[in-house]
């Protein structure tokens, strides 16, 4: 009788992995696969990608999970393809077709640009029914699958870029840069309605999440071929995910007070609200600039307060 193999003991791993999520699995399924490969005690992702979507999914391991919410609220960049003339109940190719219309010959590049213009800048967007938002304790997509539709409040999002890249018949490709909380499927559906023919997303790839604008991503297949040391070497330091915030260098005395949870005066403190805190020994965590100019600790790494 063979002896059952023991699963490797989970370990403390700290850092950010820039995963290239494949087509098919959910973000959580991709996260769990990566977590198993790293034998990590703790891990989380930074905002879901639909199963249909591929591309950048930053995964936070260990202490990096403390900063995952800040990546969740970061601006994101997508390459989206859509098909004119067809609407689906989910807004993408995974859904059932609800309407088919003829694409007018008058829809040229100029007409598309006119339709895109109102969808840029600060806009109000109603989240789709096929989303993970909750209504009375249930996910909207669960209600949608039961044939229910409920009223959703609009939300303000910012669309920094919504540009047509290529057109091949009724297939369009766009470069989109948008704020957190934006639904690209809704952007495409709104464009289709503005053009009068409908549209849905056929493929979606996330290219960047601030501050990772031109990231080197790694696939699950690549990770499976590596040993533990090689995988660990791919992890980015926790503070690299906060690179868009100013750094505050603390003296030993100031760092001691910060560790005790006290705000400190820092010469020439930055005006930005959120900052990265560093002691002479290295990265400590996230701080906040108070109205009186002092710097207060807000989210500290365990190694900085132990």
**What positions carry a catalytic annotation?**
50
Residues in the chain: 306
Calpha distance 8→227 (Å, rounded): 13
CA-to-CA separations, 3 to 6, 7, 188, in angstroms, rounded: 9, 12, 55
**DSSP designation for 240:** G
Q: What would the 3-class secondary structure string for 41-97 be?
A: CCEEECCCCCCCEEEEEEEEEHHHHHHHHHHHCCCEEEEEEEEECEEECCCECCCCE
b or e along 96-132 (b: 16 or more beta carbons within 10 Å of the residue's beta carbon)?
eeeeeeebeeebeeeebeebbeebbeebebebbbbbe
53, 52, 58: which is closest to 71 by C-alpha? 58
Residue 198, preceding bond cis, omega within 30 degrees? Answer: no
């Amino acid at each position: 009788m063979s002896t059952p193999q023991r699963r490797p003991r989970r370990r403390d791993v700290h850092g950010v992995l820039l995963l290239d999520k494949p087509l098919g699995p959910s973000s959580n399924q991709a996260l769990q696969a990566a977590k198993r490969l790293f034998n990590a005690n703790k891990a989380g992702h930074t905002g879901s990608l639909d199963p249909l979507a591929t591309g950048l999914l930053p995964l936070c391991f260990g202490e990096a999970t403390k900063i995952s919410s800040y990546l969740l609220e970061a601006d994101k960049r997508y390459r989206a393809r859509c098909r004119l003339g067809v609407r689906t109940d989910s807004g993408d190719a995974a859904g059932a077709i609800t309407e088919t219309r003829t694409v007018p010959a008058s829809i040229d590049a100029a007409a598309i640009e006119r339709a895109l213009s109102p969808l840029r800048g600060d806009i109000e967007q109603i989240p789709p029914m096929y989303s993970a938002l909750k209504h009375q304790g249930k996910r909207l997509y669960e209600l949608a699958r039961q044939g229910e539709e409920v009223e959703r409040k609009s939300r303000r999002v910012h669309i920094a870029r919504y540009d047509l890249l290529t057109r091949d018949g009724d297939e369009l490709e766009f470069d989109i840069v948008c704020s957190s909380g934006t639904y690209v499927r809704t952007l495409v559906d709104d464009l289709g309605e503005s053009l009068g023919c409908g549209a849905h997303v056929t493929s979606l790839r996330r290219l960047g999440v601030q501050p990772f604008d031109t990231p080197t991503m790694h696939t699950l297949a690549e990770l499976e071929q590596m040993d533990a040391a090689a995988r660990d070497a791919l992890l980015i330091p926790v503070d690299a995910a906060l690179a868009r915030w100013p750094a505050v260098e603390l003296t030993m005395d100031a760092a001691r007070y910060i560790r005790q949870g006290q705000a400190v005066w820092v010469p020439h403190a930055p005006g930005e609200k959120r900052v990265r805190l560093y002691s002479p020994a290295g990265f400590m965590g996230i701080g906040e600039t108070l109205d009186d100019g002092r710097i207060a600790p807000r989210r500290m790494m365990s190694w900085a307060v132990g």
